[in-house]
């Protein structure tokens, strides 16, 4: 018998819900009691919204046989699949598009929690229950009373419950539906993960306690004064001891202050005191304006060096703990980032506290995306349908009211990829009216009707340059607006390439105020068999594969080479040198900070080895200033060696986010050039029946294939042009640049045939002539291997002459050979991490050590990785190889073909051979998985080429 059956109409109702209190500022009280209701809850999942009645919400219900889950959490990530599975789609709705209807199959999680009030819970006053995030729709009962229902997954909802509380045995029942009308507004590109995924808290509300309040703290850069006014629903006083401020709420006060910026995040501790409550304040004074067509903070134009951050944890999904949030902020600060777009919803509020504290500019984005409507030319788009406008305004208000007291937030974003429409205009108008101290962002409206910035995503370099020059046209309004790329540099798999080229444009044109890389973290889900799972790994009927793994950090938060590259691209100090005249030019590229926080160091390398180092005294340059600084006399006795200077900028002292000596920026420049390896061709090849001998090497007499060098047996080197296509090589099908990953397969570059034309024994060389070409096509590469030796060393010169009409660049061009064993690797060249032609800024020339296993970059979907750039020589497996010229080096325990075939890292198993690639060229990486391919200057064209390697046994 059911205790009471509530209507289920609310699930498909476009309204935001009923029963919740009006939105207000989110804060942690100093003295009002709070009781966390996080922890273990009872859960029952049903297949439909009404498979079970709601009698569980009544007092005395026995849920003893229900499962136990953690709140915050997503039920599909708990119980080993017993409660259903995650679904990943990019923009396609995983249900029929028939708004506001959702499928009958609508997983519904009934959650139960019984709690007692702590003994010291005050008997007077009221109380509210706050839900910080529930996906996607919930109905709530306390002690059998229905207190309301709500939608808006990543937004807080509070309910007044004081009149319902009992000292012991309170029953909180929450029925959560995976799908609701709200799901149409939450089509962000991510996993669909139902559940109560943020905190649930009971808050005591004493009589006379604070309701809502708004801290207005501006900064006048001309006078150096800040003006503070705290508006509060409930009158009280505001104090800031460090500034001698003690004023009534609603009263303005102006005093000299240190301003807040992302680089100098000065916060003043204050307090708001009403009759019934004390609330701590952390006040940052700053003024954000649009002036002269630029976004200015405290009078200065700023440059965003940002990233898009989804909330992600490989085991907990979007239920993040504070330590994880802090780790994100620290990693960002340590990699020179200065901005975050909270794509595509307001984050857990604690994350914004961290942004205030450590210093990051924030674009706070509303929980709104209707991207799937693009498939029907935006017909029926909720953002252009008045029936939905109350839900949109509710979402805007819940974001702004919750987050308005964070100095780090400089933009409110209406949402992402929702087309255009009246609802968005209504949101923008409401936000502008409520908070004139910040700007409004929205990307989807290129006419900029509702926004204060012209924002785009994945615009190609040439278009960005045009926009920088103001040659892009557009509406009258747009022409006066600054430009940002709210998404660019798609960090899926290996890449993104071309970041340095974007940064050059951002720094060249004032109108371009920077951008935000897509995105921060790979949303891989930890999986017992697959390592990290991505779309399709849970048997989804509709999914977008590994498009969900496109972050600058791996799922376990290890920085990927993309983050290391970005750190270098956006470094706040430019260090350029001239080895010939012994000076280094240092430029301060911060917007606010001078260089007094940094210590500079020079070092001098001979053949990559640091022989001397010392402190370099650099003036505390103001933002934008440069100075030429004299380097010391170069150490003598480096004749015949390659020498270079390295100058580094380090933290001079511990900061909140980094330790003394943390490297912020660096520059390298040559002092004397590298002498190329020479081998006199003095040895003459000799042949026996089966073998040819030349210097330290033996070859197969019939094929001319190298067999041994010294005592080392090798699988003979052959020309190699194939690489396991990266996500950026494959490209996304909607991209306009040619998708070479596909064409490479079409033209058979993954199955080249090697025809032997001649084995010639000369006086001073063994020459092997071949033609390397794909089946089915007339193109080919005439390839000649010429071997010479001085008796101890063996030189291979490879000449490649393309034949036919090559319509595609080559993935790589070099040789591949096999070694029976190799583990430790030493090299002189670029490192320590991987680099490709358009991702090589962070590659530092020096002496590096690694192992074959550590050379691999663990992209969640395996693909080409691990090349080291500018390698002069490398030692592994008992061999030393010197390059003429420098080369790209990679080594792995599987072939490129095996790498190509793998779908997860767990598909890769080491074989008996270590495969070594020595490449003369690599094709660029680009960002075509969602953006431009490699720029033309990074294409590896098929053209006549010659390159050499000198083999010797390692010393």
Determine the Cα–Cα distance for residues 22 and 160; give it in Å rounded to an integer: 11
Determine the Cα–Cα distance for residues 138 and 160; give it in Å rounded to an integer: 16
Question: What phi and psi, each to the nearest 5 degrees, are found at residue 224?
Answer: 75, 15
Options 149, 277, 417, 875, the catalytic residue: 417
Options 149, 186, 465, 487, the catalytic residue: 487
Count the Cβ atoms, other than its own, within 10 Å of residue 755. 11
Residue keyed to tokens 């951002």: 506
In the annotation, is 59 catalytic?
A: no
Spatial contact of 182 and 153, defined as CB atoms under 8 Å apart: yes
Determine the Cα–Cα distance for residues 884 and 873; give it in Å rounded to an integer: 9
Determine the Cα–Cα distance for residues 136 and 153; give it in Å rounded to an integer: 5
Query: What angle in degrees, to the nearest 10, is found between the helix axes of 322-334 and 349-358?
Result: 30
What is the SS3 string spanning 228-255?
Answer: EEEEECCCEEEEEHHHCEEEECCCCEEE
Q: What is the DSSP letter of 72?
A: S
Q: How many residues does the chain have?
A: 955
Give min distance, CB of 374 to ligand IPT, in A: 8
Q: Please list, residue by residue across 439-470, b when 16 or more beta carbons sit within 10 angstroms of its beta carbon and e when fewer do.
A: bbbbbbbeebebbbbbbbbbbbbeebbebbee
Determine the Cα–Cα distance for residues 23 and 394; give it in Å rounded to an integer: 9
- Looking at the Cβ atoms of 41 and 518, the one nearer to ligand IPT is 518
Closest of 701, 697, 909, 906 to residue 817, by C-alpha:
697
Q: Which two tokens stand for residue 560?
A: 């990927």
Pairing of strands 454-457, 483-488: parallel
In the annotation, is 417 catalytic?
A: yes
Question: Which residues are registered as beta bridge partners of 131?
Answer: 157, 200
Closest of 344, 373, 49 to residue 179, by C-alpha:
49
Residue 59 burial (10 A CB sphere; 0-12, 13-18, 19+) = middle
Handedness of CA 397, 399, 400, 402 (dihedral sign): positive
Determine the Cα–Cα distance for residues 736 and 747; give it in Å rounded to an integer: 20
Residue 733 burial (10 A CB sphere; 0-12, 13-18, 19+) = exposed
Helix segments in 673-810, DSSP class H: 727-730, 740-746
Determine the Cα–Cα distance for residues 705 and 698; give it in Å rounded to an integer: 9
- Looking at the Cβ atoms of 343 and 896, the one nearer to ligand IPT is 343
Give min distance, CB of 867 to ligand IPT, in A: 25
- Looking at the Cβ atoms of 457 and 796, the one nearer to ligand IPT is 457
Determine the Cα–Cα distance for residues 611 and 631; give it in Å rounded to an integer: 15
Q: Which two tokens stand for residue 611?
A: 């022989």
- Looking at the Cβ atoms of 90 and 797, the one nearer to ligand IPT is 90
Determine the Cα–Cα distance for residues 81 and 711; give it in Å rounded to an integer: 54
Closest of 773, 770, 779 to residue 798, by C-alpha:
770
Give min distance, CB of 151 to ligand IPT, in A: 20
Determine the Cα–Cα distance for residues 433 and 423; give it in Å rounded to an integer: 15
Question: Which residues are registered as beta bridge partners of 232?
Answer: 213
Q: Which two tokens stand for residue 366?
A: 């509303």
Residues 6+ apart with CB under 8 A from 890: 855, 865, 866, 867, 868, 916, 917, 919
Residues 6+ apart with CB under 8 A from 301: 294, 295, 510, 513, 591
Residue keyed to tokens 């440069």: 626
Chain residues in the site for ligand IPT (CB under 6 A)? 90, 188-189, 344, 416-417, 457-458, 487, 490, 518, 547, 550, 930
How far is the first Cα of the chain from the last one, in angstroms, to the nearest whole number? 85
Nearest-CB residue for ligand IPT: 189
Give min distance, CB of 409 to ligand IPT, in A: 20
Give min distance, CB of 486 to ligand IPT, in A: 8
Write out the catalytic residue numbers.
Answer: 417, 487
């Amino acid at each position: 018998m059911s205790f009471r059956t509530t209507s289920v109409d609310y699930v498909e109702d476009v309204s935001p819900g009923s029963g919740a209190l009006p939105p207000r500022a989110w804060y942690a009280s100093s003295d009002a009691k709070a009781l966390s209701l996080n922890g273990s809850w009872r859960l029952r999942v049903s297949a439909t919204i009404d498979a079970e009645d709601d009698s569980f919400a009544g007092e005395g219900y026995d849920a003893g046989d229900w499962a136990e889950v953690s709140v915050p959490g997503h039920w599909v990530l708990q119980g080993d699949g017993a409660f259903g599975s995650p679904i990943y789609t990019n923009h396609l709705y995983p249900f029929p598009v028939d708004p506001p209807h959702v499928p009958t199959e609508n997983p519904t999680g009934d959650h139960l929690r019984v709690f007692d009030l702590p003994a010291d819970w005050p008997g007077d006053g009221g109380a509210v229950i706050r839900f910080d995030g529930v996906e996607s729709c919930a109905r709530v009962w306390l002690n059998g009373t229905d207190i309301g229902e709500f939608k808006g997954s990543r937004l807080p909802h509070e309910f007044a419950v004081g009149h319902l509380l009992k000292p012991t045995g309170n029953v909180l029942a929450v029925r959560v539906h995976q799908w609701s009308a709200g799901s149409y507004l939450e089509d962000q590109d991510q996993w669909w993960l139902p559940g109560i995924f943020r905190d649930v808290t009971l808050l005591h509300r004493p009589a006379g306690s604070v309701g809502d309040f708004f801290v207005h703290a501006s900064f006048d850069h001309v006078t150096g004064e800040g003006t503070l006014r705290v508006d509060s629903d409930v009158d009280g006083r505001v104090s800031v001891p460090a500034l001698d401020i003690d004023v009534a709420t609603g009263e303005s006060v102006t005093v000299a202050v240190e301003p807040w910026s992302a680089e100098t995040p000065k916060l003043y501790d204050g307090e708001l005191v009403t009759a019934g409550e004390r609330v701590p304040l952390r006040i940052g004074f700053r003024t954000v304006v649009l002036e002269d067509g630029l976004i200015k903070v405290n009078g200065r134009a700023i440059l965003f060096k940002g990233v898009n951050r989804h909330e992600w944890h490989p085991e907990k999904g979007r239920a993040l703990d504070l330590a994880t949030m802090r780790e994100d902020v620290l990693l960002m600060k340590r990699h020179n980032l200065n901005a975050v777009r909270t794509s595509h919803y307001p984050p857990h509020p604690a994350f914004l506290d961290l942004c205030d504290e450590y210093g990051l500019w924030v674009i706070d984005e509303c929980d709104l995306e209707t991207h799937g409507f693009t498939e029907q030319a935006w017909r029926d788009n909720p953002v252009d349908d008045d029936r939905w406008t109350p839900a949109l305004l509710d979402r805007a208000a819940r974001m702004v009211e919750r987050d308005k007291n964070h100095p780090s937030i400089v933009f409110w974003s209406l949402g992402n990829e929702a087309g255009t429409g009246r609802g968005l205009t209504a949101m923008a108008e409401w936000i502008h009216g409520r908070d004139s101290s910040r700007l409004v962002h929205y990307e989807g409206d290129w006419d900029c009707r509702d926004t204060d910035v012209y924002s785009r995503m994945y615009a190609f370099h040439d278009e960005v340059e045009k926009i920088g020059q103001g040659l892009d046209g557009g509406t009258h309004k747009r022409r006066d607006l600054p430009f940002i790329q709210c998404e660019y540099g798609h960090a899926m798999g290996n890449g993104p390439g071309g970041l340095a080229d974007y940064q050059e444009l951002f720094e060249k044109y004032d109108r371009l105020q920077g951008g935000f890389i897509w995105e921060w973290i790979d949303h891989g889900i930890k999986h017992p068999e697959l390592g990290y799972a991505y779309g399709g790994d849970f048997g989804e009927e509709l999914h977008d594969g590994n498009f969900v793994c496109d972050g600058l950090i791996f799922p376990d938060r290890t920085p990927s080479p993309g983050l290391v590259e970005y750190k270098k691209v956006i470094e706040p100090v430019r260090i350029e040198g001239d080895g010939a005249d012994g000076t280094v030019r240092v430029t301060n590229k911060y917007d606010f900070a001078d260089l007094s926080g940094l210590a500079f160091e020079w070092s001098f390398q001979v053949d990559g080895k640091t022989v001397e180092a010392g402190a370099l005294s650099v003036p505390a340059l103001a933002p934008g200033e440069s100075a030429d600084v004299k380097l010391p006399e170069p150490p003598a006795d480096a004749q015949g060696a390659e020498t270079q200077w390295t100058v580094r900028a380090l933290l001079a002292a511990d900061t909140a986010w980094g330790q003394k000596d943390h490297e912020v920026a660096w520059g390298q420049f040559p002092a004397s050039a590298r002498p190329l390896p020479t081998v006199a061709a003095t040895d003459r090849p000799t042949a026996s029946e089966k073998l040819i001998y030349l210097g330290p090497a033996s070859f197969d007499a019939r094929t001319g294939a190298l067999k041994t060098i010294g005592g080392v047996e090798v699988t003979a080197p052959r020309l190699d042009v194939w690489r396991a296509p990266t996500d950026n090589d494959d490209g996304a099908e909607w991209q306009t640049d040619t998708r070479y990953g596909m064409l490479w397969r079409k033209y058979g570059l993954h199955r080249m045939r090697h025809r032997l034309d001649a084995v010639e024994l000369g006086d001073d060389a063994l020459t092997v002539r071949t033609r390397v070409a794909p089946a089915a096509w007339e193109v080919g590469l005439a390839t000649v291997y010429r071997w010479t030796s001085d008796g101890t060393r063996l030189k291979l010169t490879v000449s490649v002459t393309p034949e036919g009409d090559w319509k595609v660049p080559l993935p790589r061009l070099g040789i591949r050979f096999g070694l029976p064993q190799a583990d430790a690797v030493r090299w002189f060249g670029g490192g320590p991490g991987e680099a490709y032609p358009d991702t090589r800024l962070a590659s530092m020339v020096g002496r590096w050590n690694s192992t074959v296993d550590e050379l691999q970059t663990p992209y969640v979907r395996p693909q080409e990785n691990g090349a080291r750039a500018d390698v002069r020589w490398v030692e592994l497996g008992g061999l030393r190889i010197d390059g003429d010229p420098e080369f790209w080096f990679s080594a792995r325990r599987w072939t490129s073909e095996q790498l190509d075939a793998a779908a997860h890292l767990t598909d890769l198993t080491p074989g008996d051979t270590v495969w070594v690639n020595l490449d003369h060229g690599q094709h660029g990486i680009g960002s075509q998985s969602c953006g431009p391919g490699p720029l033309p200057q990074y294409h590896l064209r098929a053209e006549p080429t010659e390159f050499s390697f000198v083999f010797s046994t390692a010393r």
